[in-house]
């Protein structure tokens, strides 16, 4: 351990985000209490929410509850970027990482990115890239600063809000043609945002899109 890390550990020790036990952000007991999904393709579960599905495979690690919900809220809203590597390792351990050309992620609108300081999905993707040896690229730009999908109750309105929401960054338009890509998102509610991003990638020439999600709010 480097001296800087040792001093930080001494004066600002880590605690389990769920039970406050001294140690990692998620202790072993709370880790085993997570509601992991067994390996399966979730496309059929999400199909009723969408008129057409543009991603080719959907893997979700766990249910959005308990400790995993606390971890994601801390990462997303409380400047806890240090949680991202652990979540990436959990994805690496619990999901089947397909053989692909690139990894990307759901982008934030530039304004929201400035306010938050980082994109939690990007941080997870970068760490997964290190584990897998797959290049990570910031392929997409979010054009509209929409509020969270979970706040929109009407299903048709959710889908309408997704129209023309994303675009592929100009410098990557040639790079992604006929490529197979993983897209990372932290939480899935109906799949509308993920589907809109996947549609944009497919329309730009991407061959296949595999979605990896940390947690699901789907019933």
pLDDT tens digits for range 41-65: 788 888 888 889 999 999 999 999 9
98 with 154, same domain? yes
63 with 16, same domain? no
162 with 175, same domain? yes
14 with 44, same domain? no
DSSP string, 1-61: --HHHHHHHHHS--B-TTT--BSSSS-HHHHHTS-BPPS---HHHHGGG-SS---SEEEEE
178 with 97, same domain? yes
Residue 69 has pLDDT above 90, yes or no: yes
11 with 84, same domain? no
202 with 170, same domain? yes
Residue 39: predicted pLDDT: 64
- pLDDT-derived band at 14 (thresholds 50, 70, 90) equals confident
Tokens 């998102």 appear where? 185
53 with 137, same domain? yes
Counted domains in the chain: 2
146 with 198, same domain? yes
Report yes or no: 195 and 168 within 8 Å, Cβ to Cβ.
Answer: no
- pLDDT-derived band at 11 (thresholds 50, 70, 90) equals very low
pLDDT tens digits for range 155-169: 666 666 777 899 999
Of all residues in the chain, the percent with pLDDT exceeding 90 is: 63
Instruction: State which residues form the domain around 211.
Output: 38-216
14 with 86, same domain? no
* pTM of this structure: 0.88
């Amino acid at each position: 351990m480097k001296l800087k890390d040792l001093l930080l550990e001494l004066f600002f020790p880590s605690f389990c985000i769920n039970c406050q036990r001294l140690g990692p952000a998620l202790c072993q007991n709370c880790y085993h209490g997570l509601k992991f999904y067994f390996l399966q393709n979730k496309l059929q579960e999400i199909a009723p929410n969408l008129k057409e599905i543009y991603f080719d495979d959907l893997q979700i690690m766990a249910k959005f509850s308990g400790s995993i919900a606390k971890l994601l809220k801390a990462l997303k809203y409380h400047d806890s970027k240090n949680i991202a590597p652990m979540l990436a390792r959990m994805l690496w351990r619990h999901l089947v990482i397909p053989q692909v050309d690139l990894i990307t992620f759901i982008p934030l609108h530039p304004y929201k990115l400035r306010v938050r300081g980082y994109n939690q999905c990007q941080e997870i993707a970068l760490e997964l890239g290190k584990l897998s040896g797959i290049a990570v690229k910031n392929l997409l730009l979010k054009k509209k600063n929409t509020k969270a999908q979970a706040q929109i109750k009407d299903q048709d309105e959710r889908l309408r809000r997704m129209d023309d929401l994303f675009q592929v960054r100009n410098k990557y338009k040639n790079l992604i043609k006929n490529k197979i890509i993983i897209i990372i998102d932290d939480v899935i509610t109906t799949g509308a945002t993920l589907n809109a991003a996947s549609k944009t990638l497919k329309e730009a020439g991407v061959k296949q899109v595999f979605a990896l999600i940390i947690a699901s709010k789907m019933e």
